[in-house]
Amino acid sequence: MTLHKGLWYNYIMISSDLNEFRVEAHEFLLGQQKPLPTPAIARRLFGARRHEMPETQVVVRALLADDHRFVETHDHCWTVLGSPLLDKALSEATFSVVDLETTGSVIGVDEIIEIGLIQVRGGKIVDRFESLVWTDRPIPPWVARLTGISNEDLEGAPTFSDLAENMVGLLDGNVFVAHDIRFDLPFLRWEFARRGIGRPAVTGMCTLQLSRQFWPDLVSRSLGDLAKYFGIDHDNPHRAADDATATAGVLLEVLKESKQLGLLDLGDLFRVEEIIAARSADGDSLASRAAES
């Protein structure tokens, strides 16, 4: 059957095979070792010729978002409840907390000039990594003022290629955490991709998003303000190691709060709003019944 692109969305949405698509997507994701982006799932369900069509990707997002078994990670990838990824206990998961300083914000043009990485496991910081990164791209004056890093400071620093293997080892199979993951993770993925290095299998988590869910009444959720709120040392903002350490501090607060709420695994952490809302509704129901009795 040949369908005009404008009709493809309507055809899929009225198809009697919607449940079959969900079943196939569930089985596919259950066997993956990392969450997958929407186009990868669209390719699996609808084939290579249609997977990049905007209509097809809208269909996939609608199919998955309407089913509680599917979980969207903070970097907009998908996995499923019951997968080994999400069944991992929070006390046993390894979180790789990352901050990058770059020459600017344009992926494919700007480059990384500093990396900070803190590993957290069992509610403790267990490893640290930091490095300046060589680039021959001129550091703009505004970046130099913000970070205090100049091109002269990068003389003798390793290139990203020099650091790539070590970075893969620190990230692969772990939960990738950043404060506003929309910036740091895409930058790293680009750096790996343009060198032909397979990107590490990570589950994306964002402390900015978690702070909205756990502490909705806070006026500001900037990293600096969160650090101040929780009493976390943050003496050198806009330096990768210090920002990564502060982000790790926010993550540790999230894990403490999670324990108090009885959240047990990564799947719970990605569904925290749903869990809190359900408990609140149960509490309201109990209070209502108690008032009536």
Identify the pLDDT of residue 222. Answer: 97
The domain of 15 spans: 5-84
110, part of any domain: yes
Q: For residue 29, what is the domain's CATH number?
A: 1.10.10
Q: 61 with 146, same domain?
A: no
User: Is 41 exposed, middle or buried (CB count within 10 Å of its CB: 0-12, 13-18, 19+)?
Assistant: buried
Identify the pLDDT of residue 287. Answer: 44
Residues 6+ apart with CB under 8 A from 162: none
C-alpha distances in angstroms, 21 versus 44, 80, 98, 165, 244?
A: 10, 14, 36, 38, 40
- 90: helix, coil or strand? coil
Q: 106 with 155, same domain?
A: yes
Q: For residue 199, what is the domain's CATH number?
A: 3.30.420.10
Round to the nearest angstrom and report the end-to-end CA distance of the chain.
63
288, part of any domain: no
44, part of any domain: yes
Digit-coded pLDDT (tens) for 187-202: 999 999 999 998 899 9
Q: 63 with 106, same domain?
A: no
Last residue of a domain, one of 35, 54, 84: 84
The residue type of 289 is R
Last residue of a domain, one of 84, 113, 148: 84
Residues 6+ apart with CB under 8 A from 115: 98, 99, 100, 129, 130, 131, 133, 163, 167, 240
Range with lowest mean pLDDT among 68-72, 204-208, 259-263, 283-287: 283-287
Digit-coded pLDDT (tens) for 134-159: 999 999 999 999 999 999 999 999 99
Q: 29 with 157, same domain?
A: no
Q: 51 with 113, same domain?
A: no
- The side-by-side arrangement of strands in the sheet containing 203-206 is 124-132, 112-121, 94-102, 175-178, 203-206
Q: 232 with 171, same domain?
A: yes
Q: 257 with 166, same domain?
A: yes
Digit-coded pLDDT (tens) for 202-220: 999 999 999 999 999 999 9
Token digits for 239?
């330096």
197, part of any domain: yes
Q: H or E element: which one contains 160?
A: helix 160-171
Identify the pLDDT of residue 233. Answer: 95
User: In terms of C-beta distances under 8 Å and separation of at least 24 residues, what long-range contacts does 187-196 make, across chains too?
Assistant: 187/100, 187/102, 187/107, 187/112, 188/98, 188/100, 188/112, 190/107, 190/108, 191/111, 191/112, 191/160, 191/164, 192/164, 192/168, 195/160, 195/161, 195/164
Q: How many domains is the chain built from?
A: 2
Q: 23 with 114, same domain?
A: no
286, part of any domain: no
24, part of any domain: yes
Q: 68 with 103, same domain?
A: no
Q: 48 with 147, same domain?
A: no
Tell me: pLDDT of 167 over 60.
yes
Q: 171 with 250, same domain?
A: yes
Residues 6+ apart with CB under 8 A from 190: 107, 108
